[in-house]
Amino acid sequence: MTVPQILYVSAFLLILIGLYSLLTQRNMIRMIIGLNIADLGVNLFLVTIGFVDKGSAPIFRAQAAAGPMVDPVPQALVLTSIVIGFGVTALALTLVMRLFVSHGSIDTARIRGLKW
């Protein structure tokens, strides 16, 4: 297997693990952790898209090493995606705090609107 193939497979495994825990966990904090794992998988997937064989970081230096540089665009996209993930996580945790205050539990089975 080549390097990007390994990375693609692990990215999709991370996404699947994250989605699985989102679906099966009853603890809301764990569900949010699952979401974050899936987020990581997506970020890994995006970075891998920019992979080039023997590529270096896309930074120009005085004593430049000859050879290709990796694609800078996916790295910029990942930066954005990380920040968005952070914002959503902060909001989700605040909501869980409010739910804990009002219901006294973070178990979705005890919260009417989130049971399934």
Partner 1 sequence: MRKLIGILLIGGFAFYLVTVGMGLFSAESRSELDSVGSEILATSPDLSGAANTVTAVVVQYRGFDTLGEVTVLFVSALGVGMLAMAIKDGLLKNLFDDNGGFVLQAGSLALLPFIVLVGLYITLHGHLSPGGGFPGGVIIATAVFVVILTSKTLSIPRGLINVMETLAGLGFLAIGFVGLYSPAQSFLANILPKGEFGSLLSAGFIPVIYAIVAIKVASELINIISKLTAADSDSKEAAE
Partner 2 sequence: MVSPILFIVVPLAAAFLTVLVNRNAGARILALLTALTLSALAWFWFRADLSTPVSVVIAGIAPPMGIQLSMDRLSAALALLISVSGLLVILYSQSYLKSEEAQSKHYAVLLLLMAASFGILLTRDLFNLFVFYEILCISSYILVASEETKASFEASLKYLLLGSVGSLFMLVAIGLAYRVSGSLAMSDIARALGKADSSYAMLTAALFVLGMGIEAAIFPVNTWLPDAHSSAPSSISAVLSGFVIELALVVLLRISMTVFSSVNLMLPLRYMALAGILIGELAAFGQTELKRTLAYSSMGQVGLMLFALTLGTEAGRQAGMAHLVMHTGAKSVLFLIAGYFIVRTGKREIKSYSGLGRRMPLTGVLFVIAALSLVGVPPLFGFFTKFKILSAAAASGATGAWLGIAVILLGTVLEASYLFRVARTLYSDPEGENVKAVKGRMEMDVPALVAVFGFTLLVIFGSFLLPLIPSGLAL
Q: Which two tokens stand for residue 24?
A: 């099966």
Q: Which does 58 bind (CB under 5 to 8 A by kind): partner 1, partner 2, none?
A: partner 1
Q: How many CA atoms lie within 13 A of 46 on its CB side?
A: 17
Closer Cβ to partner 2, 20 or 62, answer by number: 20
Is 98 among the residues that bind partner 1 (CB under 8 A)?
yes
* Calpha distance 43→56 (Å, rounded): 19
Q: Which does 28 bind (CB under 5 to 8 A by kind): partner 1, partner 2, none?
A: partner 2
Q: Per-residue b/e over 52-77, b at no fewer than 16 CB within 10 Å?
A: eeeeeeeeeeeeeeeeeebeeebeee
What does the binding site for partner 1 look like in residue numbers (CB under 8 A)? 2-5, 8-9, 12, 16, 19-20, 23-24, 50-54, 57-62, 68-76, 79-80, 83-84, 86-88, 90-91, 93-95, 97-98, 100-101, 116
